[in-house]
Amino acid sequence: MRRPPLRAWACAAALVLGTTTGLATEISPSQRRSGFDDMSRESQAMQRDDTANPGMLWVLEGETLWNEKAGLAGRSCADCHGDARRSMRGLAARYPAYLPEQSRPVDLEGRINLCRETRQNAPPLPRESREILALSAYVAHQSRGMPIITGEDPRLEPFRARGEALFRQRQGQLNLSCANCHDDNWGKRLAGSTIPQGHPTGYPLYRFEWQSLGSLQRRLRNCMVGVRADPFAPGSPEAVELELYLMSRAQGLPIETPAVRP
């Protein structure tokens, strides 16, 4: 079935969601649910089966890159961190994390690139490149099944608060916020699709619409374009702060990387 054009989706969103009044109500922990629960049985089965999940191709490539020496230092990720199945276990469940030397939070892709620059003496990998997605998918995959604990570090609080403000801020020509969809109207249908709660439990994930793996920040930019707002630059402070809030909002839900989504 062909998807409606972006303009049709945007007009439907304005009609269905633009009538929301008042402040959005935050989803209680007892009501939190993954977008996995809103998918068809066939899509759920694809995610569960590592031999059918297309995101596992990136995970396997990430494992190769993990052990591959890079940069002028001639050092691999494994040279510093050893077996990722042990050293990276639980890491993705707490990112974005506060980095003292940066005096701010960094997301997982940003942390990988900092390691490349400072430890491997290698150039940072471009955002959304196959290599950075493969490495971040491989690292995040080691936390699959573990509950998200992002945001527990008190040093993150001012950044998390700014991310929450961005989540609730109406923007773009359609004058909609993230909260209008994912807090106020989750479970309803828009353009034939169920509106999810918007929890980032499986990034980077394979999206049928993209026919590829993509990061959470790519998905955020898609949403911002959908409401006709200027999207945040990849890795920008605003993008990381919004990602931080979304991950903290999903506390307790398990990591699914690599997830599959429509």
Q: Determine whether 181 is an active site residue.
A: no
Q: Work out whether the CA dihedral 255, 163, 128, 115 comes out positive or negative.
A: negative
Six-digit token string for 181? 């969809």
Residue of 115, 178, 181, 223 marked active site = 223
Contact 59, 66 (CB under 8 A): no
The Cα angle at residue 55 between residues 135 and 203, in degrees rounded to 5: 65
Contact 137, 58 (CB under 8 A): yes
Range 218-226 contact pairs with CB under 8 angstroms and sequence separation of 24 or more: 218/128, 223/178, 224/171, 224/172, 225/6, 226/6, 226/9, 226/10, 226/13
Residues annotated as part of the active site: 223
